[in-house]
Amino acid sequence: MKRILVPLFAMFVFFLRAQEYQAAWQSLDSRTTPRWYKDAKFGIFIHWGLYSVPSWATNSNADGFGSNYAEWYWQRLSASQLKIHKEFVAFHERVYGRDFKYPDFASKFTCEMFDPKQWAQVFKNAGAKYVVLTSKHHEGFCLWPSKESWNWNSVDVGPHRDLAGELSDAVKKEGLRMGFYYSLYEWFNPQYKNDLAGYVQQRMLPQMKDLVTRYHPDIFWADGEWDHPADAWKSTEFLAWLFNESPSKEAIVVNDRWGNDTRGLHGSFHTSEYGQGNTGNGKPWEECRGIGESFGYNRNENLEQYATSEQLVHQLIHVVARGGNFLLNVGPTADGRIPVIMQQRLRDIGDWLKINGEAIYESEAWTKAPGITKETDLFFTAKEKLLYAITTRWKKEILIETDEKPLHVNMLGYPGKISYRYNGNKLLIKMPQLTPDKIPCSFAWVIKLQYK
């Protein structure tokens, strides 16, 4: 019996090892993206760090160098950026003085108003299904007690709180998925600038593994990869550990920012910003943008820099109708508040999703839909035996080309009957006459077509 069991056990161990993902893109890319991510459709991005203290940038990107990004404040103060971003230096010296150094902001990052339960409720009420927090941006300051960033994290200095851990717990208790953004590089870390290999092995990889081991996230959102190829960052080695050994190995998804040679090629999903759109390759993809033009909170922004609720709902529809996810950013203040104008935008999105969410969540792009342009105002999503027509402009009639007559037609949130006529593969829907107090929602309206 022993002679039989030993070979069988060896074969079993060999089989298990054969199923492991190797530290090579061909193997890593063979992993199927967990279904939860493709079904979620809407997530919240959070840019929060020491840059939230000065919370300042220009209020336009007229120079084309991202001068409206408040989270890049420290980099804009550096000598190499003085000619391009001299207005940052002028602001800093006027408000804080020449002798005030960026690391001095740590003591002012107090977070005394931070209520993770309230944040989580805001995100849930917005209809979001997942949250991604900047655990460490390019400044290198960590929002958790990283031993590799001694005295440069939110537990050792500043608020003396594990901000990442507190928010992770609160978000998960609300039934949402939690994830972390992590910048691979750090602008002014001496080890990064002089010893990349040592930085990767002694700081970056241990920090990333620590985040995953502590908090069991469902998303790992890498960034700051552009200085070096993936081999230099040891990205495939980390991802092999993540998918094979980590406590998040079953559910976690990762983006495509793992080296200056990986965007649009690798990862569980591909990324896009401010309307760039699907990166192709048949992979799931995600569009991110801020409610304002900056990702970190920018006190210098005016109302004109904030997207309206209508614009944000329309962008959500635009992205989902093309098969993507929409990751919408909020920039909290240094004392830990989500600005009220951002809360209001999120509440409006949530109110729209309460009525129309079934056309968004767990949906797919309709393969027979007409091409989408900037002028498009009729979008489509699909599920098995269901088609949703989403119009972002109220019309008297909607014309849809479809191969078969639907069994039932209704408008989400409207209890009355919808008149329609089907002839020659053309479905003509007559929109109901509604008074403002009877219309089911604002910003966009959904016609649901049910087939067999």
Beta strands 426-430 and 397-401: pairing type?
A: antiparallel
| Mean pLDDT in residue range 213-226 | 98
Q: What average pLDDT is seen over the chain?
A: 93
**Residue 107 belongs to some domain of the structure:** yes
Per residue in 6-65, pLDDT (tens digit) is 444 444 444 444 459 999 999 999 999 999 999 999 999 999 999 999 999 998 776 666
| Mean pLDDT in residue range 295-302 | 97
Final residue belonging to a domain, choices 334, 359, 384 = 359
CA-nearest of 267, 284, 285, 268 to 276 is 285
**Residue 425 belongs to some domain of the structure:** yes
* One domain for residues 343 and 371: no
CB-based contact 161:152 (threshold 8 Å): no
Tell me how far apart the alpha carbons of residues 333 and 109 are, in angstroms, rounded to a whole number: 9
Tell me how far apart the alpha carbons of residues 164 and 154 are, in angstroms, rounded to a whole number: 9
**Residue 8 belongs to some domain of the structure:** no
* One domain for residues 285 and 405: no
* One domain for residues 209 and 116: yes
Beta strands 177-183 and 219-223: pairing type?
A: parallel
**Residue 27 belongs to some domain of the structure:** no
So what's the pLDDT on residue 295? 97
Structure tokens at 414: 């409207």
Number of folded domains that form the chain: 2
Per residue in 133-145, pLDDT (tens digit) is 999 999 999 999 9
Structure tokens at 101: 């150094």
Amino acid at 246: S
DSSP string, 20-42: SPPSSHHHHTTSPPPHHHHHH-E
So what's the pLDDT on residue 83? 84
**Residue 19 belongs to some domain of the structure:** no
Higher per-residue pLDDT: 277 or 410: 410
CATH code for the domain in which residue 426 is found: 2.60.40.1180
**Residue 23 belongs to some domain of the structure:** no
So what's the pLDDT on residue 339? 98
So what's the pLDDT on residue 61? 78
So what's the pLDDT on residue 414? 95
Within 10 Å of residue 285's Cβ, how many Cβ atoms? 24
So what's the pLDDT on residue 3? 55
So what's the pLDDT on residue 280? 59
So what's the pLDDT on residue 19? 58
Q: Is the pLDDT at 315 greater than 60, yes or no?
A: yes
Q: Is the pLDDT at 126 greater than 90, yes or no?
A: yes
* One domain for residues 318 and 395: no
Q: What percent of the chain has pLDDT over 70?
A: 94
Per residue in 374-396, pLDDT (tens digit) is 899 999 999 999 999 999 999 99
| Mean pLDDT in residue range 59-86 | 86
Final residue belonging to a domain, choices 335, 359, 383 = 359
**Residue 145 belongs to some domain of the structure:** yes
Q: In degrees, to the nearest 5, what angle opens at C-alpha 368 toward C-alphas 366 and 372?
A: 75
So what's the pLDDT on residue 437? 87
| Mean pLDDT in residue range 349-362 | 98
* One domain for residues 353 and 370: no
The conformation of residue 297, written as its DSSP 8-state character, comes to -
Show the domain range for 385: 366-450
List Cβ neighbours of 199 (8 Å cut-off, separation of 6 or more). Answer: 189, 191, 192
So what's the pLDDT on residue 8? 47
CB-based contact 162:155 (threshold 8 Å): yes
* One domain for residues 165 and 308: yes
Q: Which has the minimum average pLDDT: 216-225, 303-312, 430-439? A: 430-439
**Residue 14 belongs to some domain of the structure:** no
Residue 223 three-state SS: strand
* One domain for residues 340 and 385: no
So what's the pLDDT on residue 80? 84
* One domain for residues 229 and 347: yes
Higher per-residue pLDDT: 14 or 105: 105
Final residue belonging to a domain, choices 342, 359, 376 = 359
CATH code for the domain in which residue 261 is found: 3.20.20.80
